[in-house]
C-alpha cells in the first residue's frame, strides 16, 4: 500500500516547482525556458482566433469570428515552421525534465504533422450533413456565446452582423475545393440545405410562426439581464435587423451555391477519387490512430472483432432464452416496443432523466476507479431542434476551463426509435462518466503541463477512452439487465464495423450501398443508423477508426501492467497514468505505461 501511495503522490504532483525539486539548475532553467515557449505560442494562437477564445471562456474579441481564409492557413503554416526551427535550435532536449521532454516531443510531432498535412488542407468538406460552418454559426452563438452583461449582448449582435463576411469566406473556400475536385457526394446536399433553411425559419425571418432558434436564444439571454427596458428593446431591434438583413441573405447565398453544386455532384464516395487520394487516406489513418497500422491491417482487425462480438452476443441470446439465429435476435431488438421510449416530449424527457440517473449512480462509484476527479459539472441536454435531424446520435462538449460553462452530454432525441433503452447505459458511460467528462474535464484542470496538452486532443486516445469506459461498468458488475449488456456489445460491434467499412470505402472503393449493407447484415441497428454511419464515414475519412484502435490499445496496456505487477496492480493508479498526462498519441501513452510499470 505504501508503494501505491508513493507512486500515486508522484503522479499527482503537478506544479513545476515540485517536479523540478532537487534537479540540476540547468535542467530547471531549460525546462522553464521550453515551457514558457509552449505557453507563449499557445496564447498567441488563441489571440489570433476569437472563436477559440470564446470556447476557453475568454471575452477578448467577443464580437468577432475567426478568419478562415486560405491566406490565414498559409500564415499559420509559416508560424508552425518558425516554431519548429526555434525548438530545434534553441532548446537542449537532453537538459529537459521528464514532463517537458514529453511536451517537447508532442509539440514537435504536432508541428511536423501540421506541416506534412498542409498539402491536403483542402481535402475536406466544410459543409456536410453532420457539421460545418453553416450549422456551427448557430450552435456556437447558442451554446458558446454567454451573455452576462450588456456588452455581451452587443457582441452577440456584432457576430450576427459578421455572418455575411464569414459566409463569403466560406463560399470562397468551397470554390477552391471545387477547383481541385473536392466536392461532397450528391447525398450530402439535401441535408445540408435543409439545415440552412431550418436556421432561417421562424421569427423574425418569417412574419408568422414560432421564433427561430437564434432569435429565441438572443431574446432569452437578453431577458435574463438586469438592464433598463429601453436598452433591451434597442438591442432586440439591432439583433432583429441583423438577422433579417445580414444572416438570412448570407444563408440564401449559401443555399443557392449548394444547389448549383449539387447539380454537378457525383455518387463517388471514397477519398480515392481525389488526386493522390490513397496517400491522403494513408496519412489520415496514421494521424487518426496515432499508429503505423495500414488500411489492410485495420480492416482485418475489424473483421476479427466483429466475429468475436457476434459470439458474445450469442451468449446473451442463451441467457434470455431467445429462439432463433443472430439475425432474428437483431430484428427483435430493432422492433420490439419494450426497448424504446415513446417518441413524444414525455418519452424524450424520460430518456434524459434515466441518463442522469445512470451518470449519478456512476458518480457514487468513482472512488473504485479513480484517484483524481474533475471539478467541472456535467449536464445532460437534448440536441437543439435546428440541427437534431442531421446531428450525430450523441456527443460531448468540454466545459470552459474557467468554470463558466459545464461539460455537456448531448443526446439526439429527434426520434426515440434511434435511441433504444438497451444502449442508454453504455452511451451515458461513454459520453459522460466515466468517459469523456472524466477524461477531458480532468485534463483541463491539470497543472504543470502546457495548455496545448491540456486542451488538445488525439482522436484515438479520446475516443478509445470513451469506448473503454463502456466496458469498465461491466467489470464492476453493472449492466445487470442482459439486454443492456447486449446494448454495450452492440455499441462495441458498431465500432468494430467502422474499421471494416471506413477502410472499405476509402481504400477498397466500396460504394455507399456496400457499406450500408455491411452494417445492416452485421449489426442490430436501424436502417437509418446504418445509412447515417456510412454517410459519416464518407465525409470524415478515417475518423471512425479511432474508437476501436484506441480501446484495444488501452486494454492491451492494462493487461500488460496487470501481468507485470500482479497483486501490486491498482486500477486507480493505472487510470491516473492514462489520464494525468492529458491527451496523448497511443505511442506516447504506451511509453508512459511502460515507465509506470518500471517505477513499480
Q: What are phi and psi of 407, to 5 degrees?
A: -70, 145
Task: Give the span between the Cα atoms of 68 and 66, in whole angstroms.
Answer: 6
DSSP string, 306-355: HHHHHHHHHHHHHHTT--S-HHHHHHHHHH-GGGS--SSHHHHHHHHHHH
For the entire predicted model, the pTM comes to 0.90
Q: Which residues of the chain have pLDDT under 70?
A: 1-22, 390
What are the grid coordinates assigned to 183, written together? Answer: 466536392
What are the grid coordinates assigned to 311, written together? Answer: 459470439
The confidence score (pLDDT) of residue 22 equals 62
End-to-end CA distance of the chain: 12
SS3 of 394, please? strand
Q: What are phi and psi of 97, to 5 degrees?
A: -75, 175
Contact 524, 325 (CB under 8 A): no
> How buried is 431 (Cβ within 10 angstroms: 0-12 exposed, 13-18 middle, 19+ buried)?
buried
The confidence score (pLDDT) of residue 390 equals 67
The confidence score (pLDDT) of residue 18 equals 41
Task: Give the span between the Cα atoms of 119 and 239, in whole angstroms.
Answer: 40
The confidence score (pLDDT) of residue 388 equals 84
The confidence score (pLDDT) of residue 385 equals 84
Which residue from 160, 173, 73 is spatially nearest to 127, judged by alpha carbons? 173
How many residues are recorded in the chain? Answer: 600
What are the grid coordinates assigned to 400, written together? Answer: 470552459
Region of 510 on the Ramachandran plot (φ > 0 left; ψ -120 to 50 alpha; else beta): beta
The confidence score (pLDDT) of residue 265 equals 96
Residues contacting 383, CB < 8 A, separation 6+: 391, 410, 411, 412, 413, 414
The 3-class SS string of 206-225 reads: CCCCCECHHHHHHHHHHHCC
The confidence score (pLDDT) of residue 446 equals 86
SS3 of 92, please? coil
The confidence score (pLDDT) of residue 207 equals 78
Report pLDDT digits (tens) over 289-328. 999 999 999 999 999 999 999 999 999 999 999 999 999 9
Amino acid at each position: 500500500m505504501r508503494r501505491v501511495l508513493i507512486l500515486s503522490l508522484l503522479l499527482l504532483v503537478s506544479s513545476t516547482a515540485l517536479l523540478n525539486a532537487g534537479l540540476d539548475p540547468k535542467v530547471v532553467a531549460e525546462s522553464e525556458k521550453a515551457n514558457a515557449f509552449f505557453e507563449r505560442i499557445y496564447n498567441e494562437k488563441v489571440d489570433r482566433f476569437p472563436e477559440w477564445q470564446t470556447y476557453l471562456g475568454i471575452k477578448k474579441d467577443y464580437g468577432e469570428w475567426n478568419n478562415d481564409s486560405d491566406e490565414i492557413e498559409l500564415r499559420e503554416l509559416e508560424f508552425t515552421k518558425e516554431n519548429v526551427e526555434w525548438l530545434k535550435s534553441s532548446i537542449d532536449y537532453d537538459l529537459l525534465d521528464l514532463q517537458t521532454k514529453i511536451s517537447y516531443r508532442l509539440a514537435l510531432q504536432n508541428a511536423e504533422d501540421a506541416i506534412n498535412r498542409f498539402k491536403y488542407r483542402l481535402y475536406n468538406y466544410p459543409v456536410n450533413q453532420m457539421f460545418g460552418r453553416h450549422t456551427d454559426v448557430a450552435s456556437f452563438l447558442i451554446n458558446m456565446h454567454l451573455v452576462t452583461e450588456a456588452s455581451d449582448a452587443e457582441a452577440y449582435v456584432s457576430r450576427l452582423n459578421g455572418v455575411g463576411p464569414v459566409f463569403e469566406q466560406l463560399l470562397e473556400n468551397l470554390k477552391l475545393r471545387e477547383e481541385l475536385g473536392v466536392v461532397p457526394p450528391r447525398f450530402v446536399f439535401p441535408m445540408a440545405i435543409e439545415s440552412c433553411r431550418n436556421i432561417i425559419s421562424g421569427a423574425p425571418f418569417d412574419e408568422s410562426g414560432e421564433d427561430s432558434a437564434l432569435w429565441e436564444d438572443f431574446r432569452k439571454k437578453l431577458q435574463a439581464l438586469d438592464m433598463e427596458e429601453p436598452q433591451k428593446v434597442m438591442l432586440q431591434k439591432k439583433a432583429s435587423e441583423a438577422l433579417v438583413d445580414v444572416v438570412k441573405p448570407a444563408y440564401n447565398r449559401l443555399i443557392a451555391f449548394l444547389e448549383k453544386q449539387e447539380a454537378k455532384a457525383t455518387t463517388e464516395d471514397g477519398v480515392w477519387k481525389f488526386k493522390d487520394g490513397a496517400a491522403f487516406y494513408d496519412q489520415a489513418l496514421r494521424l487518426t490512430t496515432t499508429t503505423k497500422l495500414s488500411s489492410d491491417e485495420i480492416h482485418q482487425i475489424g473483421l476479427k472483432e466483429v466475429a468475436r462480438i457476434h459470439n458474445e452476443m450469442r451468449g446473451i441470446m442463451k441467457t434470455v432464452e431467445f429462439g432463433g439465429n443472430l439475425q432474428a435476435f437483431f430484428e427483435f431488438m430493432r422492433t420490439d416496443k419494450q426497448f424504446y421510449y415513446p417518441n413524444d416530449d414525455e418519452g424524450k424527457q424520460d430518456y434524459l432523466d434515466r441518463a442522469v440517473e445512470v451518470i449519478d449512480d456512476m458518480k457514487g462509484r468513482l472512488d473504485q476507479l479513480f484517484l483524481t476527479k474533475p471539478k467541472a459539472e456535467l449536464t445532460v441536454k437534448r440536441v437543439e431542434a435546428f440541427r437534431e435531424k442531421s446531428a450525430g446520435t450523441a456527443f460531448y462538449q468540454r466545459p470552459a476551463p474557467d468554470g463558466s460553462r459545464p461539460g455537456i452530454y448531448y443526446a439526439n432525441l429527434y426520434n426515440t426509435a434511434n435511441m433504444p433503452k438497451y444502449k442508454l447505459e453504455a452511451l451515458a458511460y461513454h459520453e459522460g462518466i466515466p468517459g469523456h467528462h472524466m477524461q477531458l474535464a480532468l485534463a483541463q484542470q491539470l497543472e504543470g503541463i502546457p495548455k496545448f496538452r491540456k486542451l488538445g486532443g488525439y482522436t484515438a486516445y479520446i475516443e478509445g477512452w470513451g469506448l473503454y469506459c463502456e466496458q469498465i461498468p461491466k467489470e464492476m458488475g453493472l449492466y445487470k439487465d442482459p439486454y443492456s449488456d447486449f446494448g454495450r456489445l452492440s455499441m462495441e460491434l458498431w465500432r468494430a464495423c467502422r474499421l471494416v467499412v471506413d477502410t472499405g470505402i476509402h481504400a477498397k472503393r466500396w460504394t455507399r450501398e456496400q457499406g450500408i449493407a455491411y452494417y445492416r447484415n452485421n449489426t442490430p441497428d436501424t436502417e437509418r443508423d446504418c445509412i447515417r454511419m456510412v454517410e459519416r464515414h464518407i465525409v470524415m475519412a478515417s475518423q471512425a477508426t479511432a474508437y476501436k484502435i484506441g480501446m484495444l490499445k488501452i486494454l492491451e496496456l492494462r493487461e500488460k501492467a496487470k501481468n507485470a505487477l500482479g497483486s501490486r496492480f491498482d486500477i486507480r493508479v493505472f487510470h491516473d497514468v492514462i489520464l494525468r498526462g492529458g491527451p496523448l498519441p497511443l505511442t506516447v501513452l504506451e511509453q508512459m505505461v511502460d515507465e509506470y510499470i518500471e517505477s513499480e
